[in-house]
Amino acid sequence: MKVTMKDIAREAGVSVATVSHVINDTKNITEVKKKKVLEIIDKYNYVPNSTAKNLRRKSTKTAALVVSSSTDSFVNEMIFGVEKKAREMGYSLLLVNTNEDAVYEEKTIKILHSKMVDGIILSPTSNDLDYLNKFTKSMPIVLVNRYNEVVKNAPRVTGDNYTIGFDATEHLIEHGHNNIGLIYSVPNVSTTEERIRGYKEALEKYNLTYKNNYLEIGYGTVDGGGKAAEELLKRHKEITALFILNDFMTVGVISKLRELSITIPDDIALIGFGDSPASAIIDPPVTNMILPPQEIGEKAFKLLLKKINKENDIENFELPASMVVRKSCGCQ
């Protein structure tokens, strides 16, 4: 027979409201009543609404990872890093992919906030994150990959996205390219904005004019990348190099350039982001800007654990960028 909260209240000789307050820790209940209710909960192994397994410690030993997308190797490797560290620390991990849907993201955070998990790691869908501040006061939350300074009491683990944009652009300029197109996945997120800022400042360093219409959205997909490249090159025949901010889009760009009989790197030089295993065997092999996604994921979980344990020495982390040079940019 399934035991209900009403059954527990009757056996403990208290009201249903008292049982609810004990479970949710929403009101001070006398130690005698609290002890009696917890004993009966343990007796029947009652777990309300899939929440805390151990109510005395108010811990589920479960964390949530909410990602905006899982469409590229970088995000998948970051997820692996979080999962790896969670397992090592004895935690179960609940994974939610919001698919770049801000409304669904906020709804998800609301649900997770209601005592289902001990803490949340979030890679948000946009910079519009004011809503998070009503949750960060009472729930451990860590931002990963993307962030906004507007969020308080939520440390972050990110990569150096400014350097990603600057170094890729400078590398192409040093190879003689003055007209460089940029294909991005998602607008209004810190990763895109920081990479574009780096791209702009590299152009400025070499006295080259930034042109907003050299930027094209590719939606983080193979098809989107191909369409973005075709549109850019149709609109601006003077473009001789492309910087692509997602490895799925890079595959689409290469496929589209082949279809158009455009040679890499002779006609169009190319630098991507995120070093998937295919990058080294595509013809030509792809030069990529990279960040350490597994390390970012692992650090994010360690930071979350500090928040859960109410440690005070919490700081933000920004991991360095690097470049893997291959033939697509005109090297070797």
Q: What average pLDDT does the segment 253-272 reach? A: 97
Which residue bears the tokens 């905006």?
Answer: 68
pLDDT above 70 covers what percent of the chain? 94
Distance CA 255, CA 258 (A): 5
DSSP E strand stretches across the chain: 62-67, 92-97, 119-122, 141-144, 156-159, 180-184, 215-217, 241-244, 269-273, 287-290, 317-319, 322-324
pTM of the model: 0.81
Q: Walk me through the domains of the chain, giving residue ranges and CATH numbers.
A: 5-50 (1.10.260.40), 62-159+293-321 (3.40.50.2300), 161-291+323-329 (3.40.50.2300)
Distance CA 38, CA 115 (A): 17
Q: What average pLDDT does the segment 4-18 reach? A: 89
pLDDT score of 19: 86
pLDDT score of 58: 61
For 196-247, write each residue's pLDDT tens digit: 999 999 999 999 999 999 999 999 999 999 999 999 999 999 999 999 999 9
pLDDT score of 96: 94
Which residue bears the tokens 């397994």?
Answer: 53
Q: Is the pLDDT of residue 136 over 60?
A: yes
Query: 29: pLDDT confidence band, cut at 50, 70 and 90?
Result: confident
- Return the closest-CA partner of residue 203 out of 154, 243, 145: 243
pLDDT score of 49: 53
Q: What average pLDDT does the segment 7-23 reach? A: 88
134: enclosing H helix or E strand: helix 133-136
Query: 42: pLDDT confidence band, cut at 50, 70 and 90?
Result: confident
pLDDT score of 47: 61
β-strand pairing of 322-324 with 287-290: antiparallel
Distance CA 149, CA 129 (A): 9
Mean pLDDT is lowest, of 33-47, 193-207, 247-261, for 33-47
Q: Is the pLDDT of residue 147 over 90?
A: yes
Q: How does DSSP classify residue 266?
A: T
For 83-118, write each residue's pLDDT tens digit: 999 999 999 999 999 999 999 999 999 889 876 799
Q: What is the Rg, in whole angstroms, of the alpha carbon atoms belonging to the chain?
A: 25
Under a CB-based contact definition with an 8 Å cutoff, are residues 240 and 233 in contact?
Answer: no
Query: 56: pLDDT confidence band, cut at 50, 70 and 90?
Result: very low
* Backbone dihedral angles phi then psi of residue 327, each to the nearest 5 degrees: -80, -20
Distance CA 113, CA 274 (A): 32
Q: How does DSSP classify residue 320?
A: P
Mean predicted lDDT score pLDDT of the chain: 91
